[in-house]
Amino acid sequence: MEILLRRRAADFFKMLTKSLADFAKPKNEIYSDKDVCNVDHQLTYTLSLAQKQASDLSRFTAAWARLLRRVYGMDKYAAIRNLPFDVVASVLGVSLEHFKRDNRKKEWVGPCPIHGSQNNKSCFRYNDDGRFNCFSQGCKGRGSLDLAMAVKQIGFQAAVELLGSVPPPTTKKEPVEAPIASDGVLQPLAKDTWRKFAVPCAWLEKRIPDAGIRERYGVFCYNNPARRSAYSGRVMLPVKDVHGSLFGYLGRSIDHAHNSDTKEEAPKYLFPKNLPKSRFLFGSAEIVAGTFGQAPLKRVYLVESPFCVMKFAMYGLPALSPFGWSVSQEQLELLAQLSKGIVYLPDRNKYSQGAETAAALAARLWLRFPPLPDGCEDPENLTAEQVRNL
């Protein structure tokens, strides 16, 4: 049996080597002779490994197929295989509630969806290149198809059918980009080219009816008919440092805005490329300017949304937003400079996840971390009296 398997492996190798020679000079000439030689070396090594372990012929053939797909772009399932984890998770019924995004390593971290880890909440990693690994049970693979087969315990074709109807995410070059100096230091915008294209917006006026508050925080709706921009029709939220220097705009879609070309639902928020939001707090410039008194203030409300900051300002209450529910170390340092105490009010669906952030805040500042009143999902919907009673 072992001799037979070796012969089959050798015959298979010869057949694929001929295929490799046929593809050695692709018409588009993307790959050089050096590239082909490197792949040939990898394949030869794979063959020697398979011949040493003749019973594992299936692994050998799979390695061949993977390398051919990688080099010559022959994978007709590439679009499905490369679906991002958050998209695949929703299809597989995997909740992202306990997952965290590690942007530095470009991966998702959380409990293993394959063996269903209960106690270990960070044993599973899914990298943006598709590699995934469970450090607890050793579950591993590459790409969304491998993950679907492992989670659902189904075959390859069933995984293709399951994920095949999922549209791949669209990517586009965003026009708003934070300027970076030659020494790598983040620089404020030299010129604000968006504000002059401010247009009336009923959605914004309904959400923040006080025109003076909108003007104070520099929020407006942008539309430049002469420029094809992903930010057109969005509400622009300025990203400023504590001194009021403008570094860019966060674009918020209005209701269910759609891409005019694809008719697909547009992303809710667009953040400027190269701009780390972890360094900024929406509303910090207004506090430093003395709008609510001399900083550091006795108490500041920390909320998720910049719109909630403006809503609280309408009540005469100082608030800050870290552009989300979590707080970075840089933002924590800023908070310590701006206030002596924090009332932390994440949305209801993030309250349990906010416990870690609350602990970090409590280590530096006086803190209150009250739950929202029954029936309230977002602090933006609270009345002035309800906010003061928290």
Is the pLDDT reported for residue 37 higher than 50? no
Choose the most confident range, by mean pLDDT, from 25-34, 45-54, 59-68, 264-273.
264-273
Whether omega before 267 lies within 30 degrees of 0, making that bond cis, reads no
Sheet holding 366-368, edge to edge: 319-320, 300-303, 341-345, 366-368
Is the pLDDT reported for residue 200 higher than 80? yes
> What integer is the mean pLDDT of 70-81?
64
The per-residue pLDDT for 34 is 43
> What integer is the mean pLDDT of 183-190?
74
Name the pLDDT band for 57 (thresholds 50, 70, 90): low
> What integer is the mean pLDDT of 199-203?
92
194 vs 28: CA distance, rounded Å? 41
Residue type, 367: L
Choose the most confident range, by mean pLDDT, from 54-63, 164-173, 202-211.
202-211
Name the pLDDT band for 44 (thresholds 50, 70, 90): low
Q: Tell me what percent of the residues of the chain surpass a pLDDT of 70.
A: 72
**Residue from 252, 262, 247, 244 nearest 201 by CA:** 252
> What integer is the mean pLDDT of 212-231?
89
115 vs 105: CA distance, rounded Å? 24
The per-residue pLDDT for 5 is 47
Six-digit token string for 125: 């990693």
Specify whether domain 80-164 bears CATH 1.20.58.410: no
Choose the most confident range, by mean pLDDT, from 91-95, 121-125, 245-249.
245-249
Superfamily name with CATH number, domain 195-275: DNA primase, catalytic core, N-terminal domain (3.90.980.10)
The per-residue pLDDT for 301 is 97
CB-based burial of residue 262 (10 Å sphere; 0-12 exposed, 13-18 middle, 19+ buried)? Answer: exposed
Name the pLDDT band for 113 (thresholds 50, 70, 90): confident
Q: What are phi and psi of 10, to 5 degrees?
A: -65, -45
Mean pLDDT, the chain, integer: 78
Instruction: Give CA separation, 141 vs 25, 104, 127, 133, in Å.
Output: 31, 21, 11, 7
The per-residue pLDDT for 7 is 58
**Could you read off the pLDDT of 300-312 as tens digits, one per residue?**
999 999 999 999 9
State which fold the 284-388 domain adopts.
Answer: Dna Topoisomerase Vi A Subunit; Chain: A, domain 2 (3.40.1360)
Torsion of CA 20, 24, 25, 30, to 10 degrees: 110
- pTM (2 decimals)? 0.54
14 vs 48: CA distance, rounded Å? 13
CA angle 226, 230, 231 (to 5 degrees): 80
Six-digit token string for 1: 């049996």
> What integer is the mean pLDDT of 212-233?
89
Cβ atoms of residues 24 and 33 within 8 Å? yes
**Residue from 316, 317, 362, 310 nearest 336 by CA:** 362
Residue 125 three-state SS: strand
Cβ atoms of residues 140 and 132 within 8 Å? yes
Cβ atoms of residues 76 and 65 within 8 Å? no
Q: Tell me what percent of the residues of the chain surpass a pLDDT of 90.
A: 37
The ranges assigned to domains in the chain are: 2-75, 80-164, 195-275, 284-388
266 vs 229: CA distance, rounded Å? 13
Q: Is 285 left (phi over 0), alpha (psi -120 to 50) or beta?
A: alpha
